[in-house]
Structure 1
Amino acid sequence: MAEASADNLKTVLLNDQHVALGGRMVPFSGYSLPVQYPTGIIAEHKWCREHAGLFDVSHMGPSFLVLDEKSGDGEADHAAVAALVEPLICGDIRALKPGQVRYT
């Protein structure tokens, strides 16, 4: 698969934060993503082990589910989709609000 040129790379929602923190941005799967920060990978690893880390996965395959027949009631439709998806994954889909996502 050919890599996208630097001129047409997509960016993730946290792109401005990655850049502001000095992330070394590289092309990956059509996105501009950070691979390292100025402190180095060992310091980053230790910090995450002692505190907490946030891994930006917004570039990983978004999915959109649409019911064949909608009831017209957004909450009922959401519950119907959640009932189909939740047995397949280890995440609470029903608790999501419109516009939210969950990595599972």
Structure 2
Amino acid sequence: MTDAASTGPLKRTPLRDVHVKAGAKMVPFGGWDMPVQYTGIIDEHRAVRRAVGLFDISHMGEFEVRGPDALAAVQRLCTNDASTLEIGQVQYAALCYPEGGIVDDLTIYKMGADRFMLVVNASNIDKDWAWVTSHSVGRAEWTNVSDETALLAVQGPRA
């Protein structure tokens, strides 16, 4: 998403001031003030590819689904098989239209026996929320926790 479409002041993640204090170069991204680099993009890219890196992804959307039919709802909406997840595991998946085509890509976290969190792209939060809540099944209770959730991603072969 380009920031030409954004209006108003930039949103800030809960860690924004920490990034600034640590010397991050901050840039507008999808309506958010986000860190793009600290010491240099190439060095940081190599560090993540060879070892480990930490990313503030608090701008992403987070939807919780709970209840006895939470798994059934996730299975209906997403392309991957969430029944294979153990508590604490995550998998990559897609939300798809019934006639084909992708609504969005996302990650699915198993948070408990009857509790999952779907993490969607920041630019698609409203669209994805409308999709999952209008196409859910059974006794599954959805909550959009995007505004009160901070997320960090640990990535790389030593993650």
C-alpha distance in structure 1 between counterparts of 2:19 and 2:117, whole Å: 20
Report the CA distance between 1:79 and its aligned residue. Answer: 4.0
Distance verdict in 2 for CA 1:102–1:17, change over 3 Å: farther
Which has the greater radius of gyration? 1
Hey, what does 1:83 align to over in structure 2?
72
State the TM-score, normalizing by the size of structure 2: 0.43
Tell me how many residue pairs correspond in the alignment: 89
C-alpha distance in structure 1 between counterparts of 2:55 and 2:32, whole Å: 15
Structure of greater relative contact order (alpha carbons < 8 Å, 6+ residues apart): 2
Structure 2 gaps of 5+ residues are 81-90, 92-107, 121-159
User: Which structure has greater strand proportion?
Assistant: 2
Hey, what does 1:35 align to over in structure 2?
36
Identity within the alignment, %: 39
Alignment of 1:59-98 (within 5 A): 59-63=59-63, 77-86=66-75, 88=78, 89=80, 90=91, 91-95=108-112
State the TM-score, normalizing by the size of structure 1: 0.60
What's the RMSD between the two structures over aligned residues?
A: 3.2
Structure 1 gaps of 5+ residues are 66-76
Report the CA distance between 1:101 and its aligned residue. Answer: 4.8
C-alpha distance in structure 2 between counterparts of 1:93 and 1:79, whole Å: 14
